[in-house]
Amino acid sequence: MSFLFGRRPRTNTVDLPKQAKEQISKLDGPGAAAKAEELAKTLGQMKFVLQGTQETESSPEQIYSLVTGMIQEDLLYLLAFNLYRLPFESRKDAQVIFSYVLRFRPPSASPKSEPMALSYVINNRPEVLVELCNGYNHTESAAPAGTVLREVLKSDAATAIILYHDPSEGSPGAKGLTGIQPEARQSGRGVFWKFFDWIDRGSFDLSADAFNTFRDLLTKHKTIVAQYLSTNFDLFFSKYNTMLVQSQNYVTKRQSIKLLGEILLDRANYAVMTAYVDRGEHLKICMNLLRDARKMVQYEGFHVFKVFVANPHKSIAVQKILLINRDKLLEFLRHFLEDRTEDEQFIDEREFLIKQIRNMPPTPVEPAQKPALLGSQAR
Amino acid sequence: MSIEAGASQYTVLHELGSGSFGTVYKAIDKTTGEIVAIKHIDLESTDEDIQDIQSEISILSSCTSPYVTQYKASFLRGHKLWIVMEFLGGGPAWTCGRYTNILQLKPGNLNEAHVAIICRELLLGLEYLHQEGKIHRDVKAANVLLSTSGKVKLADFGVATQLTNIKSQRNTFVGTPYWMAPEVIQEAGYDYKADIWSLGITALELINGGPPHADVHPMKVLFLIPKQSAPRLEGSQYSKEFRDFIAQCLVKDCDRRPSAKELLRHKFIRSAGKVEALQELIERRQLWDGARDRPSHPKYYEETLHTMSPKNDPDEWVFDTVKKATIAARKNTTKRRKLSVIHANGQGLVSGAEDALMRLDIRDAPLDYSSPPPATIIRGTVRRQPSVILASPTKPRQASSQRRPLQPDMSFGNSASTVRVFRRVSDNSTTAQVESDLTAPATRDENRPPMAETVTKDAILGRRVFNKVIDPSFQEVQAQTGNQAKRDALSRLADAWSALDAVDPEGEYQLMKLLLEKVQNDSKLSVHLSPTKSTSRDGTPQASPQKSGAKLILAQNNPHLKSHRRRQSSIMPEEAKEKEKLPNLPGQAVPGMEHTKQLADVLYGRWAGGLRNRWPAV
């Protein structure tokens, strides 16, 4: 494969980031098209340095100097910020570059250590992650940014950065991981909250990609998320219920009901779950899902509904709703999704719910146990 | 809403076939006039995770290569997902190799030169994918599409995967058994070389008409492939280069198996001809399509409205006051899904071979030549089913909600599942029909005489009548008819008519002529009918002018027509036949249809029997 090296223009690896930075800065000016082409070439070379080919290995020394160069030139931020303006192939190249750079550890570093570029981003340049999220502002950049993000979200620190990003908290400066205050409630202006809009309003591709990232944010790092949801319970679930669960978009609706079930049934989120099923208005939303015209929505709704009914410490509000509708519910559940004849677990669970509802005391009873108190809730 | 705007940009024409997990329609992009293929996926009928579909889309959308089917757009319309792809007129390469074997048509064989060209193009496609860090994982002739100009494109990225690191590996057990590389089956970790193995099998498939072990049950194949020595191309009629190429692709040790790039330098590939040489295959295919019995009426796009209609349920839940009410029993049908999908932390994907095997046994039986390409594993059993599946084109449509879980899979077994065969093909409506291969060879020798040669002037006119008048009229009326029963009746009539067209275009022409004459001769009718459509006077489906004409014939005893009729008596039997058929359409079985049903039953029975013998435990 040596001929490949022969043909490659001999730009010094160290100069590539600088070159790319310059080319990006000229994307606006005259001759932007030509600059974009040059930039595409530069990014192609960077990709080549990073990943080698199927036949040739990449050299760690070269990668190291490239990564340090990128950090020096703040190229990660520039790339993330301008991702949507790059040509099609360059966006994919940028995605590859991000993936490799954010994963790279010098050969001397411990395999458990934070990759150097990622550690830099987390501690000094969190805006890179924010701008990657903002990639969902444009169809062009959504998929490459999303791919990079989901990779990065394997890191709990990166997840925390995105969850806790909040521009309204003082200067939007680079506080990084150290600036996070988990107890402070979110204003709702941080980048995480934009996901609701992206998921609800975007085109299918964009919305589905954003949802995948959203799901990763909420399921990958359980302790962080449990704390986050407890603190921001009202804000989160009011947005979640109105924008996602009751979305007009079929995919958004169905996927978010399913994710809601997953979140509630996760042991780490026990406190969140008890608080969620304590609320009468949540049960109302859920019971309406059972009546949705679309069966898969009904089915996903069922798996949230069962949590309310199975809860041994139902709140007065929940009991009232169930009791008022008891006869209806019993009749309804008897015929609910009756074609699902092979789904034994579903049938069992449906039977269980019928029994539970039938055996409820005729008047609401004060629950023996209140939901675990959530940090911030004004109840 | 921007989502809706997406759909209105396209005019959907007619069905091309049922693809890997949806129904594919031919459509026109109104803004550009470009013809596209649109896959409709009914998300309500899939239990599987929407994520899987999305991952296919995201892989497709990141590909721009002349060797890969071009993705254009996707959007939601209610609970249907529309995926817009480029339209290729030639159909799957699968069909080229297979026809010859099904029916020994001569000269129909794909020869070595064809295979060389296809292999080179596929290698270029694979080279592209692999350098992008993608593994296709389901390379087989059924997933190779030909364009009318002879271009070869890889399609169906349903199980493709994107590696984030070019050197990383995958363990997931996916693919279609006969084409699967040993390392994939053994789940020992594999990379892009797995596609090279599948390519070798595909080459064998193209030249032999089927993959190795095609007569073996797919479950058993999974044991054979790792255990036996790699298949080779046998026969002195093939060149040394070809045999060596296959041997190179089918090196069992994936580390010693060459990459796509290396294989592109293989002598067999370097000496391959131009893609234009493939055009003859497509032409031959179209001839072949034309030569078999006339495909029945195309299935037109119809929007499912009933599922999306807003629910006006008087029995709302009561959240405030107590109110006595009963709720009507609801009839719900649905697909099951493993509940574990919900509870587990997103572990919805099947990864174990055992799981895949369990899914496998009910749906895949040994390949025989009349069978479709076997389904790709990992797809759930449900997702493969298009929302509106027709066992044969003459059967009435069934709404997806009427289907019982699993039924289509079970009852069609290996035979009629051909309907689901990937056929995104063809560029004219006559060859674009989806006709199950089951009905095709069978009806050839029995019910339906072979298509008449269109030689006489009348016959040519008859064909023209069908193509220009009858066919479009049915389309139009079909599109305007909302009632399902009426639609069914109408499509049966359309089928009957197209059968007539196939058998006797001359008679068809005469019939048409008569109809028009009679309409014109009746003073009242000519006033009403000549310019525009008739109005419905009874409960029968609202039909095209021709249909009303047909009714008129039955009713008319206009004396001054009698002489005319006598003059035309030679063609009367034909007309009489039509007469018999027309009045009581809804209940009547159109010839060919009950036959199809019987055949499907027999084949299914045989298949099931074979399965029991081979797998007594199943």
Nearest CA in chain B to A248: B78
Report the SS3 class of residue B379. strand
B227: annotated binding-site residue? Answer: no
Nearest CA in chain A to B132: A92
Window B:154-183, CB contacts with A under 8 Å: 162, 164-167
Inter-chain contact A54–B308, Cβ cutoff 8 Å?
Answer: no
Domains of chain B: 2-86 (3.30.200.20), 91-160+191-210+232-291 (1.10.510.10), 449-590 (no CATH)
Inter-chain contact A342–B405, Cβ cutoff 8 Å?
Answer: yes
CA dihedral sign, ordered A51, A57, A62, A63:
positive
Q: How far is CA B295 from CA A126, B431, B433, B499, in A?
A: 62, 7, 6, 8
Inter-chain contact B61–A143, Cβ cutoff 8 Å?
Answer: yes
Comparing A109-118, A271-280, B60-69, B554-563, which segment has the lowest mean pLDDT?
B554-563
Section A154-170 average pLDDT: 84
Smallest Cβ–Cβ distance between A265 and the set B78, B132, B343 belongs to B343
Smallest Cβ–Cβ distance between A339 and the set B261, B326, B332 belongs to B332
Could you tell me the maximum CA-CA distance found in chain B, to the nearest angstrom? 87
| pLDDT attached to residue A303 | 93
Task: Determine contact, residues A372/A270, Cβ cutoff 8 Å.
Answer: yes
Mutate to test the interface with A, among B39, B52, B163, B330 (most CBs of A within 10 A): B330
| pLDDT attached to residue B242 | 93
| pLDDT attached to residue B94 | 55
Residue B255 with chain A: CB contacts under 8 Å: none
Task: Determine contact, residues B305/B115, Cβ cutoff 8 Å.
Answer: no
Nearest CA in chain B to A292: B311
| pLDDT attached to residue A147 | 92
> Token pair for residue A243?
């924008």
Smallest Cβ–Cβ distance between B130 and the set A54, A92, A205 belongs to A54
Residue A291 with chain B: CB contacts under 8 Å: 311, 313, 316-317
| pLDDT attached to residue A192 | 94
Task: Determine contact, residues A32/A85, Cβ cutoff 8 Å.
Answer: no
| pLDDT attached to residue B330 | 36
Nearest CA in chain A to B73: A205
- Listing DSSP states for B165-183 in one string gives STT--B----B-GGG--HH
Residue A280 with chain B: CB contacts under 8 Å: 319
Residue A265 with chain B: CB contacts under 8 Å: 342-343
Residue B327 with chain A: CB contacts under 8 Å: 328, 331-332
Q: Which strands make up the sheet holding B144-146, listed edge to edge? A: B91-92, B144-146, B152-154
Residue with tokens 């055949």: B599
| pLDDT attached to residue B162 | 81
| pLDDT attached to residue A32 | 76
Inter-chain contact A143–B62, Cβ cutoff 8 Å?
Answer: yes
Q: What size, in residues, is chain A? A: 379
Looking at CA atoms only, how far is residue B31 from chain A in angstroms?
19
Nearest alpha carbon to residue A329 among A348, A347, A306:
A306
Q: What is the dihedral of CA B400, B405, B409, B411, to 10 degrees?
A: -90
Nearest CA in chain B to A141: B62
Q: Is B318 exposed, middle or buried, given 0-12, 13-18 or 19+ CB atoms closer than 10 A?
A: middle
Rounded Cα–Cα distance for residues B175 and B350 (Å): 12
Nearest CA in chain B to A142: B58
Q: What is the mean pLDDT of each run of 10 residues along chain B (618 residues)?
A: 61 76 84 89 77 84 90 88 85 51 42 90 94 89 84 84 73 82 86 93 87 87 90 89 94 92 94 84 69 55 47 61 37 35 36 44 45 52 33 34 29 27 30 35 37 60 78 74 74 81 80 83 73 43 38 39 42 43 42 48 53 46
Rounded Cα–Cα distance for residues A309 and A277 (Å): 9
Inter-chain contact A336–B58, Cβ cutoff 8 Å?
Answer: no
Inter-chain contact A346–B346, Cβ cutoff 8 Å?
Answer: no
- Rg from Cα positions in chain A: 25
pLDDT tens digit string along A69-97?
A: 899 889 999 999 999 988 888 999 999 99
Smallest Cβ–Cβ distance between A345 and the set B61, B335, B339 belongs to B339
Rounded Cα–Cα distance for residues B301 and A235 (Å): 44
Comparing A200-214, A318-332, B60-74, B291-305, which segment has the lowest mean pLDDT?
B291-305
Residue A261 with chain B: CB contacts under 8 Å: 342
Task: Determine contact, residues A266/B286, Cβ cutoff 8 Å.
Answer: no
Task: Collect all residues with Cβ–Cβ distance below 8 Å to B207 and sequence separation of at least 6.
Answer: B97, B110, B112, B115, B233, B238, B242
Report the SS3 class of residue B28. strand
Section A323-343 average pLDDT: 90
Section A197-204 average pLDDT: 88
**How open is the CA angle A352-A357-A363, to the nearest 5 degrees?**
155
Of residues B453 and A54, more confidence is placed in: A54
Report the SS3 class of residue B334. coil
Half-sphere exposure of B354 (CA within 13 A, CB side): 0
- Listing DSSP states for A264-312 in one string gives HH-GGGHHHHHHHTT-HHHHHHHHHHHT-SSHHHHHHHHHHHHHHHH-T
Mutate to test the interface with B, among A328, A333, A346 (most CBs of B within 10 A): A328
Inter-chain contact A343–B336, Cβ cutoff 8 Å?
Answer: yes
Section A183-211 average pLDDT: 88
Window B:400-459, CB contacts with A under 8 Å: 401, 404-406
Positions of B annotated as catalytic residues are: 138
Nearest CA in chain A to B332: A337
| pLDDT attached to residue A77 | 93
Chain CA centroid to CA B502, Å: 22
| pLDDT attached to residue B109 | 62
- Rg from Cα positions in chain B: 26
C-beta neighbour count of B37 within 10 angstroms:
23
Inter-chain contact A338–B332, Cβ cutoff 8 Å?
Answer: yes
| pLDDT attached to residue B173 | 77
Residue B81 with chain A: CB contacts under 8 Å: 204, 251
Task: Determine contact, residues A203/B2, Cβ cutoff 8 Å.
Answer: yes
Describe the crossing of helices A60-72 and A32-51 by its angle, rounded to 10 degrees. Answer: 140
Comparing A266-270, A303-307, B127-131, B502-506, which segment has the lowest mean pLDDT?
B502-506
| pLDDT attached to residue A364 | 87
Is the pLDDT at A324 greater than 80, yes or no? yes
Inter-chain contact A250–B318, Cβ cutoff 8 Å?
Answer: no
Q: What ranges do the domains of chain A cover?
A: 1-125
Inter-chain contact A335–B308, Cβ cutoff 8 Å?
Answer: no
Average pLDDT, chain A: 86
Is the pLDDT at A139 greater than 50, yes or no? yes
Nearest alpha carbon to residue A282 among A252, A321, A256:
A321
> Token pair for residue B507?
């008679």
Q: Which residues pair with B84 in a beta bridge?
A: B38, B73
| pLDDT attached to residue B426 | 32
| pLDDT attached to residue A307 | 93
Nearest alpha carbon to residue A217 among B346, B342, B339, B59:
B346
Is B6 in the A-facing interface, judged by CB distances under 8 Å?
yes
Is B4 in the A-facing interface, judged by CB distances under 8 Å?
no
C-beta neighbour count of A42 within 10 angstroms:
23
Section A47-70 average pLDDT: 82
Q: Which residues pair with B29 in a beta bridge?
A: B10
Rounded Cα–Cα distance for residues B472 and B460 (Å): 17
Looking at CA atoms only, how far is residue B358 from chain A in angstroms?
15
- Amino acid type, B284: R
Residue B127 with chain A: CB contacts under 8 Å: none
| pLDDT attached to residue B345 | 38
Window B:539-568, CB contacts with A under 8 Å: none
The helix (run of H) or strand (run of E) holding residue B513 is: helix B505-521
Domain A1-125: assigned CATH number: 1.25.10.10
Residue B130 with chain A: CB contacts under 8 Å: 54
Comparing A174-188, A328-342, B348-362, B600-614, which segment has the lowest mean pLDDT?
B348-362
* Phi (first) and psi of residue B112, to 5 degrees: -55, -40
Q: Which residues pair with B154 in a beta bridge?
A: B68, B144
